[in-house]
Amino acid sequence: MKTLLPTDYVIYDEANDHVLQWEKNGGIIIFGDKQEALENCYGNEKVIPCTELPAHHQNALLKEINQEEVS
């Protein structure tokens, strides 16, 4: 079982409680490089470690990455 790491980043819009996702499959986009994530931010978005997401987003992300491990 994989866990979330503070060195993996996501783009999060706190005002709308939304995490940036892939258009094709709806999966949360994880960045291993903070600078790359910063270059993809717009408007209300900010870059945060995935471990700082609200619990419901962390749970969804854990489910997603552990499901990929099984596939």
pLDDT, tens digit (0-9, with 9 covering 90-100), for 22-56: 999 999 999 999 999 999 999 999 999 999 999 99
Q: Which residues in the chain belong to E strands, given as ranges?
A: 9-13, 18-19, 45-49
HSE-CB at 69 with a 13 A cutoff on CA atoms is 9
Confidence of residue 68 (pLDDT cuts 50, 70, 90): confident
Compute the 3-state secondary structure of the chain and give helix, strand, coil in percent, each to the nearest 5: 35, 20, 45
Confirm if 59 and 51 have CB atoms less than 8 A apart: no
Q: Average pLDDT, stretch 11-17?
A: 97
Classified as helix, coil or strand, 59 is: helix
